[in-house]
Structure 1
């Protein structure tokens, strides 16, 4: 393994150290699935941890007819998780606060559109309810899970099995890696390939790719001599990588986990007993090896905790949930500092739960960066104003308006002397009821108008999506007529 050494580079992450939690803090008696799939097999958020299989006495989500190949928590609702399966379906589940007390067999939404097993899930980072799926049918599907509708289908982009899919930070484009060894940058709404790099890695083993916050792409793969490799790409020019490093000669697929807040990348190899971490900078050599965490037992998979869940009081900047054969072991990445004050340089504002766009806004062509929140003082989950699985804002409470009317009425009564007659009090009560009745009518009319506007936006989005679908089918028909297919 070779990395650039020499002049000591200044970085607040140079001394990041990893530490496994104590045995009593691990989750024991968990039997990890034996399915042969190069996925993470574990997903974690500030509320829950989900893995492919657990002990029989533990309540499970068990609605699929085949093994589950991928699971991903929704970035805009910590109670919602998507699962992809060999049964060719994707299911959306709503997990109650406090977890499961009985097995869950009925999904909130079932998405059916793939003809072969589905192994990849990717929630849109900023648009509510948009979910991308990829299957062994070499097809990319984009869904509005609020309506259960397939809004885009890219069936003629990949000639072979798709290995990985990742949205960019705003969710306007995606990058994919494929069994044909190509790295592609795709506009999913137009269904067009913007950039392609053939043989991004020469080796035949699976590749992975992730978008960085500044728009660059980091990939992991294998050289022609079967050495594991890490490469950084500029999306404006994919002719040559900006940087490339050979890691070692192990044959486990490297799973990259990227943290946009620290510009750090963590590499977990399936079957390895190490986690390597790097810092990505804007100056050559761009990729800086920091350190590695080693343990005695190899990992079957790993879950990367959302930044909202780390412990800022301990200067924890990342946390993994490492899958063993029979347990889940948390591993904390920490910057050693003595001060008890909030370390603002370690915790820039991070993406929160609130989506930047509704599904219909993104389908109509809008893009937006994530809405950021402060990590100062830790993170408390705010009450959501969105119904995640319905794709429309919840009705905002109108209590403030009614309260102000009641308060002014009470003040009026207080300022009026005891000389009020019973008839005057009756007139007051009647006026109050009329005012409240008018407010209620106004509220109902506002609710009705909001619902109508929401339905109009949804219908407009459906029309746009179907129009694009017709264009794709017309292009395919034209190619068939020309003998290209």
Structure 2
């Protein structure tokens, strides 16, 4: 990850001081929208991405709301369309003028001949229907002109922007604090103030799954994890610990998968963003300068790294995947607010040599072409996912090749993959992120001794037991049976005990986490993704399918003048917290292994006693005959 030079940042911005929990800024890769701190009703600003530097004191604003603007969203299929939600209960639909400029605005003259900056004060239309403030707006991922909005009136409304009508109303018992569409847009996940997580079949106005989310009444966030039937939530425990939860979207009643991940005890909500192409979950802390990212694999999160800055952010957003710089191996681009006066771009880069196209980190991604019209979607038509484009064509600077996402193709690829018998589930290998390449270990499953044949094999290979038996026989022949608990036998046992104990001690020194798991789960080596040095990079393996997992280890950020501090510490509170699951797995496996060894030694001692007694009886019999 790297930050840009100060002259490439957006300065002299006036971020709103409204305390409403939204992302405050949004981007479509071409423009940035900023909830503006202005008087005389609500306003927001649009900043072209290329207009960097210090903004003038007078800038054009998008005005029209009678109260504060709380959230904005860009149309994913039209770069010039943006919507805004406000405290006045309305949703504005705006068109950005083609000749729009933020730094060099157009001026108008008043009646006295004085010039002033011309604002954009006339939206295309206002969407009305909510009876109270509208807090959040998001666009549908596959159908054009379909918008979801949540309000303090306890409803989520699904709008057809073309007609201006709220076609569907999803009623909740409390205020919705976050929502996220599924990959194909058929379902909508919502989390509300009643601490319930719900998944809706939107067009049937039906809850298909519902369950309790985080314990704290503080706001929670939810994000759908790409094409998987999984959700990620961020919230707080009763003790105000920041948490992450992973859920089966259609079995919320069973609770989260494996327990919550405890992050830290900061007060600000974690804003989640998911990159489906590389299976990476990004979490930006509101009110702190940290950006954490994790690899999602096999229903678990594996910590990759943490970007730390002394400058806290209140606003944060991710650009669409299609806007990344392929020739520089940029895998994600983000923007954060700094002290409510500046917007800073951040680039996540996989530092490989870029002479050739890196197909494993650039699988097909969502394009700017809709798969359905609003009319088709509201009439019940479905698709498997968005229209995808080929990154290779972008790299070659040719016209992008579009392809429809299909679950049939994915199933076919899986069927063609050869099955390996008794293959253990492997922890994903994380990708390279900065100059140093290091391999991440695969999980280790400790063997258990649970039957006689295994015990015999162990005893045959155990030199210590053989030495004990040989010495006992030789001494018995001369002086009678020797005490099996001799000093030398104890030394042998102590040596074996030390061999078992050492990895346990190493495991105890590794990072710990707030999650636990059963000993029957796949175990991991000590070098799990909890402790990774700040300059380390892990190379991702190339896979045959399009959904290649690419992750990153800790990243060295390029410091800029007085605005941030690069991460240099090897461990952090988060890494300690997130690493406990893997450490517990390892410790559990070692305990099982130790128990099996003790059981084997116990049985061998019993057998040795029997042999010694038989030998003693034989010696006595020979003596009696003499």
Q: What band does the TM-score fall into relative to the shorter chain? A: 0.7 to 0.9
Greater than 3 Å deviation, 4+ residue runs? 377-383
CA contact 2:186–2:201 (8 Å) conserved in 1: yes
* Residue 60 of structure 1, CA deviation: 1.4
What is aligned with 2:189?
Answer: 175
Q: Does the 8 Å contact 1:32/1:326 carry over to 2?
A: yes
The aligned counterpart of 1:89 is 90
Counterpart of 2:422? none
C-alpha contact 2:293 2:305 (8 A) present in aligned 1: yes
Which residue number in structure 2 is paired with residue 126 of structure 1? 142
Gap regions ≥5 residues in structure 1: 1-17, 384-485
Q: How does 1:21-60 map to 2 (within 5 A)?
A: 21-53=4-36, 56-60=57-61
Any conservation in 1 of the 2:208–2:250 contact (CA below 8 Å)? no
Offset, 1:181: 0.4
Q: Does 1:307 align with 2:308?
A: no
Distance change in 2, residues 1:226/1:351 (3 Å): same
1:209 lines up with 2:222 in the alignment: yes
Deviation at 1:177, TM superposition (A): 0.5
User: Which of 203, 227, 233 pairs up with 2:241?
Assistant: 227
Separation in 2 of the partners of 1:310 and 1:318?
Answer: 6
Aligned-residue offset at 1:46? 2.2
Shift of 1:340: 2.2
**Residue number among 131, 135, 140 corresponding to 2:151 in the alignment:** 135
In the alignment, the residues of structure 2 paired with residue 111 and residue 223 of structure 1 have an alpha-carbon distance, to the nearest angstrom, of: 37
Q: 1:56 to 1:151 in 2, by over 3 A?
A: farther
TM-score by length of 2: 0.56
Rg larger in 1 or in 2?
2
Q: Residue 315 of structure 1: CA displacement?
A: 0.8
* Cα contact 2:201–2:207 (8 A) shared by 1: yes
8 Å CA contact 2:287–2:312 kept in 1: the answer is yes
CA–CA distance in 2 between the matches of 1:382 and 1:259? 24
CA contact under 8 A between 2:327 and 2:354: conserved in structure 1? no
| Match in the other structure for 1:144 | 160
C-alpha separation in 2, matches of 1:159 and 1:147: 28
The one of 371, 390, 407 aligned to 1:374:
390
* Shift of residue 263, structure 1, vs aligned partner: 1.1
The 3-state SS of whatever aligns with 2:65 is coil
Contact 1:187 1:193 in 2 (8 A): yes
Question: Partner residue of 1:438?
Answer: none
State the TM-score, normalizing by the size of structure 1. Answer: 0.72
| Aligned with 1:342 (options 329, 354, 357) | 357
* 1:56 to partner: Cα distance: 4.7
What secondary structure is seen at the aligned counterpart in 2 of 1:62? strand
Displacement of 1:282 in angstroms is 2.1
Equivalents in 1 of 2:10, 2:237: separation in Å? Answer: 37
Alignment pair present for 1:245 and 2:265 = no
SS at match of 1:189: helix
RMSD of equivalent CA atoms: 1.7
Aligned-partner Cα distance in 2 for 1:203–1:75: 33
Q: Is the 8 A contact 2:229 2:250 kept in 1?
A: no
Instruction: State the number of aligned residues.
Output: 361
Q: What residue is the counterpart of 1:433 in the other structure? A: none
Instruction: Tell me, yes or no, if the aligned pair for 1:133 and 1:141 is still in contact at 8 Å.
Output: yes
- In structure 2, the partner of 1:460 is none
**Distance in 2 of aligned mates of 1:83 and 1:381:** 35
Distance 1:352 1:168 in 2: 16
User: Counterpart of 1:479?
Assistant: none
Q: Distance in 1 between matches of 2:298 and 2:35?
A: 38
Question: What is the CA–CA distance in structure 2 between the aligned matches of 1:359 and 1:126, rounded to whole Å?
Answer: 9
Q: Give the direction of change, closer, same or farther, for the CA distance of 1:75–1:382 in structure 2 (3 Å limit).
A: farther
State how 1:266-415 maps to structure 2 within 5 Å: 266-282=282-298, 286-324=300-338, 325-368=340-383, 369-378=385-394
TM-aligned CA deviation for residue 154 of structure 1: 2.1
Cα distance, 1:108 vs structure 2 = 0.7
| Cα distance change, pair 382–171 in 1 and its aligned pair in 2 (3 A) | farther
CA distance in 2, matches of 1:377, 1:341: 13
**Match in the other structure for 1:193:** 207
Q: Which runs of 5+ in 2 are unaligned?
A: 37-44, 46-55, 106-117, 401-626
Q: Helix, strand or coil: the match of 1:362?
A: helix
Give me the whole-angstrom Cα distance separating, in 1, the residues matched to 2:169 and 2:199.
16
- Give deviations 1:82-103, integer Å, cap 9, x for gaps: 1100111001111123534441
Q: CA deviation at 1:240?
A: 2.3
Residue 204 of structure 2 aligns to a residue in which SS? coil
Query: Is the partner of 1:115 in helix, strand or coil?
Result: coil
Residues 249 and 337 of structure 1, relative CA distance in 2, 3 Å threshold = same
